[in-house]
Amino acid sequence: MAATKKQTKPFDLSADNLQQRIVHHLRSTLGTHENKANDKAWWNATCSAINELVFEKLTDTQASHSKQDTRAVNYLSLEFLMGRLLSNNLHNLELFGEAEQALKALGKDIYQVCEEEPDMALGNGGLGRLAACYIDSLATLGYPAIGYGIHYEHGLFRQEFKDGHQIERPDSWREYGNPWEICRPESVQEVPLYGYVESVFEDDGSMRKVWHAGRKLKGVPWDIPIVGYGAKLVNVLRLWESKPGEAFDWDVFNAGGYVDAQSEKAQAETVSKVLYPNDSTEQGKELRLIQQYFFCACSVKDILRRFKRANGNNWDVFADKVAIQLNDTHPAISVPELMRILIDEEGLTWAKAWDVCRHTFAYTNHTLLPEALENWSVSLFERVLPRHLEIIYEINRRFLETEVEAKWPGDDEMKRKLSIIKEDGGRMVRMAYLSVVSSYKVNGVAAIHTRLVKKDLFPEFNELYLEKIVNVTNGVTPRRWLKAANPELSALYDKTVGTGWPTQLNLLKDALPKAKDKKFQKEFMAIKHDNKLRLVKEIKALTGVDVSADAIFDIQIKRLHEYKRQQLNLLHILTLYRRLLANPELDMVPRVFIFGAKAAPGYHMAKQIIYAINKVADKVNNDPRIQDKLKVVFMPNYRVSLAEKLIPAADVSEQISTAGLEASGTGNMKLALNGALTIGTLDGANIEIAEEVGDDNIFIFGLNVDQVESIKRQGYNPYDYYYGNAELKAVLDWLDSDFFTPGHPGELSDIKRSLLEWGDQYLCLADYQGYCDAHARIDVAYRDTAKWAEMAIINSACMGKFNSDRSIQDYVDTIWHLKACPLG
Ligand code: GPU
């Protein structure tokens, strides 16, 4: 062998070579030419050039996996919030520099080319983005894994503002095709729905159940290659698109009682048409249940097909080869689906099938909010999935009669309490209970969240199943959220701690001795300033508002939800504004409050809060009296690619949920990693962030979980705070006036009502003063530029724990037990 030199990069490709490949694709794949290609074509050609390399590794990976046949994890999620892929793939292939050079030689700026890519917004928020980080980490660590989800035609809606109101527009991420995906017609699956169940008696006296479907859909798989960092292997994200099934039996269709005016084709394609835009709330809609079942049925069949190809009918080894992770309860129907296939189609006994399931499924819980816990009406289930309902009944019967009875003999109250079928107030299937009973492990997503899952959500299950509930604290991929999003800071870290940090994020700690070093502080803060200058331009372009990079950039970016308390942020902004109007000479460091958030289209109060922030922004930003000390910006259409611009420019990170309600949060990790200081409650992963950075380097305020519990127990009365705090009363009363909505008094009154008359469910008023005080501490701290720089450096350098590679390794060690299989 000639090559003795260790090849460190996945591909030894020069910029010249890449340039030729891009030009080749421009001409032969896209049929255009360098002289006339637009930026979209350049983007497309670059993707195609990269894809060539990716597919090579994808094929190798698949061959190597079939040969090794070790356990793989199947990550089932209704959401994968991927964002853009080009820059990420270039970084993971370690070809970003070469691509930059190649495009430059062709007269193109790589950042501009990357801007052409539409976000793959197949998710709502944290849960979907977590899934995206996790498949990146799985590939990076070389673990065999498949992500399974839905190939939505329309991802999360595009948000526009009209007179301050949120308007939802359809998102069409693949209107002109998508260069990353590969259709796999050879792996199409059929999905039955509706109809009825027949009991068939065999000659030997045994009985078998046959489900006669009323309707059949076809699931068409689209594969997106997932390149891990260093491209040790390429996994796939397999997304199912729904199409009408081949054979269609009208008699059964009518017998099943499902009648609808729309054509069958349109109906079939409706199933994967659009992502439900609710974050942490469930509405019990029929189409949503069908979406869930559709993608579970396709995925389970696909998993079985691969298993059988390697192992035939050797069901004894199924769980040794297959782990299925349920990303929240959304894919929980895959449990009765696997039971159904094993029993009705493969002829296994109940006991054997159940044993297989109980060693295969694991479930991640992402919330304690009661409105997010999925309960499906029994009658809906019966109509859409009659056989699955029977199976759930039987799972429940055996669970109650054996497990619950053994633990709490004769305790009918306990049986009622733990039943998978909720009987009072309309019969419902409790999907969380089904998931806990069927899984071999259940996990929460941050230490405090897991503690509360055990204590408040599933206390009896925790007693019944010792050690089933475990914690895996969330994480984020440092490749996207530092290396790609913040190239300057990445270069500084490369220089300071070496280039190993994108996988070994703990290495950032090696920069800690420099936290007090004046020169390092200057470099660190100069980078922050550059990032802020870039954001200043973006703000101007998107909102028309002028802001100064010398102000504190105070950023709250996340879904709009009352428990996340954007309205508390607003109350504080109003407080500052009032103080400034009373005293324009007030000595305060100029602040820019920046928001990014989408509201679920049917969530009235969330939309009111957006409207209020926009109206306050209009007024504040155009008030010459306050001399630019205060600016408020609501960035429209918050999404992954916008987060990548906002996060590197943040000074302050708002993580202000009511304690006990944010399961983890992941934006908190990304912002701190990029040198923002957190103002936050002792909630979710904030607690673990505080542990990592130390109490002196974070602005904690407000009630903790125990205090929230006790204040609620005593009977919380928001009026006590209203009448007890003159400033608070004044800003709340302000909302009733027409100051912010000239000629329309009362337009913002619902916010006040929700905080007083309607009980202030999320305790904003109780935390108001503490929050204002914490902001005052920030104002003081920011003036000491050296100290602030030191704190920012400490925050960034101490985020090693929140690498999603660590989370994935935790999953592997405590739940999945996988063996890494990197390509040789
Ligand atoms: N989360 Br349930 C969502 O984004 N959507 C959901 O439907 C549910 C939970 C979030 C949690 O709110 C957030 O705290 C957490 O960090 C994230 O999931 C990932 O675990």
Range in 86-95, 134-143, 274-283, 680-689 with the lowest mean pLDDT: 274-283
559 in active site: yes
> Quick one: DSSP state of residue 93?
T
Whether residue 350 sits in one domain with residue 440: yes
> Do strands 441-444 and 428-430 pair parallel, antiparallel, or not at all (unpaired)?
unpaired
Decide: residue 572, CB within 10 A, 0-12 exposed, 13-18 middle, 19+ buried: buried
Whether residue 422 sits in one domain with residue 496: no
Query: What is the tens place of the pLDDT at every residue in 517-547?
Result: 999 999 999 999 999 999 999 999 999 999 9
Nearest CA to ligand 1 atom 19: 127
Whether residue 458 sits in one domain with residue 560: no
Report the sign of the C-alpha dihedral through residues 380, 385, 386, 390, in that order. negative
Query: What is the tens place of the pLDDT at every residue in 21-72?
Result: 999 999 999 999 999 999 999 999 999 999 999 999 999 999 988 888 899 9
Task: Please report which confidence band the pLDDT of residue 190 belongs to, taking 50, 70 and 90 as the band edges.
Answer: very high
Q: Is residue 696 part of a domain?
A: yes
Q: Is residue 364 part of a domain?
A: yes
pLDDT of residue 254: 56
Whether residue 593 sits in one domain with residue 468: no
pLDDT of residue 540: 98
**Which residue segment(s) compose the domain that 368 sits in?**
69-84+119-159+166-474+809-816
pLDDT of residue 177: 86
Say which CATH number the domain at 171 has.
3.40.50.2000
Ligand 1 proximal residues by C-beta, below 6 Å: 124-127, 130, 279-280, 328, 366-367, 372, 445, 474, 662-666, 684
Q: How far apart are CA 490 and CA 677, in angstroms?
A: 18
Nearest CA to ligand 1 atom 13: 665
Q: Which atom of ligand 1 is nearest to the CA of 280?
A: 7
pLDDT of residue 251: 53
Q: How far apart are CA 565 and CA 657, in angstroms?
A: 6
Give the distance (Å) from ligand 1 centre to CA of residue 356. Answer: 29
Domain count, the chain: 3
Q: How far apart are CA 97 and CA 83, in angstroms?
A: 21
Q: How far apart are CA 338 and CA 297, in angstroms?
A: 8
Q: Which of 129, 564, 629, 752 is catalytic?
A: 564
- Residue 106 confidence (pLDDT) above 50: yes
Whether residue 174 sits in one domain with residue 104: no
Residue of 302, 122, 323 lying closest to 220 (CA atoms):
302
- Residue 259 confidence (pLDDT) above 60: no
pLDDT of residue 127: 98
359 in active site: no
Query: What is the tens place of the pLDDT at every residue in 732-753?
Result: 999 999 999 999 999 999 999 9
Range in 4-8, 445-449, 613-617, 820-824 with the lowest mean pLDDT: 4-8
Q: How far is CA 157 from CA 40, 165, 176, 604, 789, in A?
A: 22, 15, 17, 17, 38
Percent of the chain with pLDDT over 90: 92
Nearest CA to ligand 1 atom 3: 127
> Token pair for residue 516?
């007090």
Give the distance (Å) from ligand 1 centre to CA of residue 769. Answer: 28
- Residue 493 confidence (pLDDT) above 90: yes
Residue of 643, 685, 645 lying closest to 664 (CA atoms):
685
State the amino acid at position 714 in one-letter form: Q
Average pLDDT score over residue span 406-423: 98
Whether residue 145 sits in one domain with residue 98: no
Is pLDDT larger for residue 139 or for residue 252? 139
- Residue 433 confidence (pLDDT) above 60: yes
Q: Which of 154, 158, 218, 366 is catalytic?
A: 366
Whether residue 591 sits in one domain with residue 463: no
Give the distance (Å) from ligand 1 centre to CA of residue 447. Answer: 15
Whether residue 392 sits in one domain with residue 328: yes
pLDDT of residue 5: 45
Whether residue 293 sits in one domain with residue 406: yes
Q: Is residue 248 part of a domain?
A: yes
Q: Is residue 4 part of a domain?
A: no
Residue where the block lists tokens 């949920």: 657
Return the best residue to mutate from 127, 559, 563, 666 for the ligand 1 pocket (most ligand atoms within 8 A of CB). 127
Q: Which of 21, 383, 558, 572 is catalytic?
A: 558
Q: What is the ipTM of this complex?
A: 0.99
pLDDT of residue 426: 92
Q: How far apart are CA 689 and CA 518, in angstroms?
A: 25
Whether residue 54 sits in one domain with residue 135: no
In terms of phi and psi (left: phi > 0; alpha: psi -120 to 50; beta: otherwise), the region of 635 is: beta
Give the distance (Å) from ligand 1 centre to CA of residue 431. Answer: 17
Which strand (E) or helix (H) includes residue 804? Answer: helix 804-811
Give the distance (Å) from ligand 1 centre to CA of residue 665. Answer: 7
Give the distance (Å) from ligand 1 centre to CA of residue 46. Answer: 34
Average pLDDT score over residue span 81-106: 97
> Token pair for residue 452?
């509360």
- Say if residues 279 and 125 touch (Cβ distance below 8 Å): yes
Is pLDDT larger for residue 372 or for residue 344? 344
- Residue 394 confidence (pLDDT) above 90: yes
564 in active site: yes
Nearest CA to ligand 1 atom 8: 280
pLDDT of residue 176: 83
Range in 185-199, 246-260, 391-405, 589-603 with the lowest mean pLDDT: 246-260
Give the distance (Å) from ligand 1 centre to CA of residue 599. Answer: 15
> Do strands 145-150 and 234-244 pair parallel, antiparallel, or not at all (unpaired)?
parallel
- Residue 3 confidence (pLDDT) above 50: no
519 in active site: no
Whether residue 706 sits in one domain with residue 728: yes
Whether residue 505 sits in one domain with residue 380: no
670 in active site: yes
Q: Is residue 483 part of a domain?
A: no
516 in active site: no
Query: Cα-flanking dihedrals φ and ψ of residue 84, to 5°?
Result: -90, 155
Q: For all residues of the chain together, what is the average pLDDT? A: 95
Q: How far apart are CA 49 and CA 42, in angstroms?
A: 11
Q: How far apart are CA 456 and CA 469, in angstroms?
A: 13
Average pLDDT score over residue span 365-386: 96
Q: Is residue 631 part of a domain?
A: yes
Q: Which atom of ligand 1 is nearest to the CA of 474?
A: 20
Query: Cα-flanking dihedrals φ and ψ of residue 376, to 5°?
Result: -100, 140
Q: Is residue 2 part of a domain?
A: no
Query: What is the tens place of the pLDDT at every residue in 771-792?
Result: 999 999 999 999 999 999 999 9
Q: Which of 670, 678, 681, 752 is catalytic?
A: 670
- Residue 265 confidence (pLDDT) above 70: no
Q: Which atom of ligand 1 is nearest to the CA of 130?
A: 19
- Residue 247 confidence (pLDDT) above 60: no
Q: Which atom of ligand 1 is nearest to the CA of 685?
A: 16
- Residue 252 confidence (pLDDT) above 60: no
Query: What is the tens place of the pLDDT at every residue in 694-739?
Result: 999 999 999 999 999 999 999 999 999 999 999 999 999 999 999 9
Last residue of a domain, one of 93, 117, 141: 117
- Residue 246 confidence (pLDDT) above 90: no
Residue of 119, 118, 129, 125 lying closest to 80 (CA atoms):
129
Whole-structure pTM value:
0.97
- Mapped onto helix, strand or coil, the DSSP state of residue 367 is coil
Task: Please report which confidence band the pLDDT of residue 261 belongs to, taking 50, 70 and 90 as the band edges.
Answer: very low
Q: Is residue 5 part of a domain?
A: no
Percent of the chain with pLDDT over 70: 97
